[in-house]
Chain A
Amino acid sequence: MSSLPKHLALTAVLTIAAGSVSAQQLAPSPTLDAIKARGHLECGVHLGLPGFSYANDKGEWSGIDVDYCRALAAAILGDATKVKFTPTSVQQRWPVLQSGQVDVLARNTTITFSRNATLGVNFQGINFYEGQTFVVRKGAAATPKDLDGASVCVAAGSTEEKNAADWFKERGLKISIINFQKNDDAIAAYDSGRCDAYTAGIGALAGQRIKLKKPDDNVVMTETISNDPQGPTTRWNDERFQLVVRWVLNGQIAAEAYGVTSKNVDEMKASSQSGDIRRLLGVEGGFGAMMGIPNDWMYQAIKQVGNYAESYERTVGLGSPLKLARGKNELWTKGGALFSPPFQ
């Protein structure tokens, strides 16, 4: 009667072996496990910036950053509505991400070396190429150079604060920078006449100009003084979750390049013969499973949120009040800077 213990021992060995095999297949991802367990994604966004992340009077969020979070939720959980948005100020954004209060930060935040190197955060790609410029009262100045001697309102601790100081100093021009804790306070001070200009990214300004008392009396300059790429940001560690964050963004851009939209995605999934599209939509390749999420991850994201172009036009592009042309935020094949590595 020694066969029973032997049998048990064999089972135990097999179980452990099987366990270790599956552990080798997928690196542990506490963030993905937590998202699945709680049933929604926690996403850090801007306090309120039309076109990027803005809650209307019914509390419904919209914007290009909000769309990214929805696509990520659709990819992981199969449902784009399973996102909780946490509005964050310039000051709050890093602690909120570092402490694990949000899973990902999509908050038109500029990618810089020192942030990457010292804050324990990783930037997973670029969903918007921003460039810093100024909003001024009509006729006050046409280009940034004309602002010599002006008072400029800015949000404290933003890249804009340093950019402006550097840019004017390099050119031997002098401006007086007034630092506010919140973008909205800075805009209010500009609106009340304290400053000659308010500075932020050109996309952000297009949205914020709408908030001014008399938007039509103010113009956003077209010349920019910086290059501020922005994109979804995660904590260090948990590479598997970072993989998902990065490739959902790549997937949105690839979908535009491959011509897959929310309208034709079902048809494409059923009948496309292109290997790229079939792998993107999870018909073959099993890419989702490699990251520990469903294989139809990008199908769900595109079906429910759309590809990059659809999201852009709806939130900041010509179909929105901001009316921004694609500019650098166009596919590299069409003269822009957006690019996705191949889905192979």
Chain B
Amino acid sequence: MSLAAALRDRKVRDVIAQAAVAVSLVALLVYFVRNASQNMVKAGIASGFDFLWRQAGIDIPFQLTGYTSASSILGLLWVGIVNTLLVSAVAIVAATVLGFAIGVARLSRNAMLSGIAGAYVEFARNIPLLFFVLIWYFGVVASLPAPRASLALFGVAFLNNRGLTMPLPNATGGFVWALLVLAAGIVAQVALLAVSRRRQARTGHALPLGLTGTLLVVALPMLALTVAAFGTGWDIPVLRGFNYRGGFVLVPEFVALFAALSTYTAAFVAEIVRAGILAVPGGQIEAAKAIGLRPGQILRLVTIPQAMRVMVPPLTSQYLNVVKNSSFGAAIAYPDVVSLFMGSALNNTGQAIEIVAITLALYLAISLAVSASMNAYNARTALVTR
């Protein structure tokens, strides 16, 4: 085939065009990076990634990674990542649970229930999230008492406008065992589930899974936890000077951001749930009734699995939004990636280009990971067409 003939082939032309676009994009990127670094050197602005190993020198009131002000800026970044993931994860779970409840309530035949759910959805969806965050924050802080008038919970945990101060165990050995018991319980329950499925297919009778689940996943781990709790010493907070000392503090910034993210996102999740349930054809439910399934079984075995197929793609984008929206925490001093890294670290080092690039890459990585796991779930539950 001659060159001219090859060029007349549409496939070849497409490949060439795409390659040209890709090459020019890369070239453009290289040009930008080179241009920026040359100009920064000329302007005397430090560049490169050495700053990540410099001492951060600032204190963070809420962190789970063992960071101190002597840690490096990389350590600071890690605190930010963990805090971002932590608040996003709990907000996603809470928003899903709350959203499911509101979405189902909105479909209720009870006019008052569906009316309230509808009003909530309209209210929450039409208010900017920053407003939500600030209202929750100043609302939470303002409504809680000052440290000297703290609300004591069982005499060991204290709630005030500096946060919820909780006792912390001096040793973690017992709790690791409790966690192992929980893990073993879950594995056993999953195995039982498989056995039960097979048995039901063969004989029509399922194992009493509810009972075994309560025993394996709830009761035994709780027992282990209780044993662990009484077996170790506790660092119980005491009021000294301005506030309680010792223990672990759940700061109001976390509570406010978590509450704002979950109540805001729940409204969107509720609409997705409602759409998903309404998308299941009525004939499916009638058929389920006809073969004698109970209403709970219909919801669990027929409606929800089919509704999930419709719900998963839009739910994915809501979960991604939660991760991205967690950056609103910067407005209320929640130490997330944006606040710590793009705020404190950027100001202390002045290396804006590197820091913004790292932050972008981080959010991209987190979002792609969430997206990939939801896509995997979607692929598994998608309708198999033959």
Contact = CB atoms under 8 A, between A and B. Distances in A.
A49 to B, nearest CB: 17
B333 interface: yes
Interface of A: 90-91, 94-95, 98, 114-115, 117-121, 140, 147-151, 153, 156-158, 161-162, 164-166, 169, 175-181, 185-186, 188-189, 192-194, 196, 235-237
Contact of B43 (A90, A178, A235): A235
B69 A118 contact: no
B242 A162 contact: no
Contacts of B348: 114, 157, 162
**5 smallest A-B Cβ distances: which pairs?**
A157-B347, A120-B44, A118-B46, A236-B44, A120-B45
Contact of B333 (A95, A169, A180): A180
Contacts of B57: 162, 165-166
A207 to B, nearest CB: 21
Nearest to A95: B352
Contacts, number: 129
Q: Which of A157, A164, A196, A237 has the most CB of B within 10 A?
A: A157
A179 B241 contact: no
Nearest to A182: B331
Contacts of B340: 156, 179
B44 A157 contact: no
Contacts of B43: 98, 120, 235-237
Given A120-B44, A181-B343, A236-B44, A147 B253 contact: no
Contacts of B162: 151, 176, 194
B142 A147 contact: no
A156 B352 contact: no
A167 to B, nearest CB: 11
Contact of B335 (A95, A147, A166, A179): A179
B58 A165 contact: yes
B146 interface: yes
Given A157-B344, A177-B58, A194-B161, A185 B331 contact: yes
Given A120-B46, A151-B243, A193-B161, 13 more contacts: A118-B349, A119-B44, A119-B46, A148-B241, A149-B241, A153-B333, A157-B345, A165-B57, A175-B59, A178-B253, A178-B333, A180-B332, A181-B339
B40 interface: yes
22 contacts: A118-B46, A118-B350, A140-B242, A149-B245, A150-B241, A151-B162, A153-B333, A156-B340, A156-B343, A162-B348, A166-B57, A175-B59, A177-B58, A181-B331, A181-B333, A189-B141, A192-B138, A194-B141, A194-B162, A235-B43, A237-B42, A237-B44
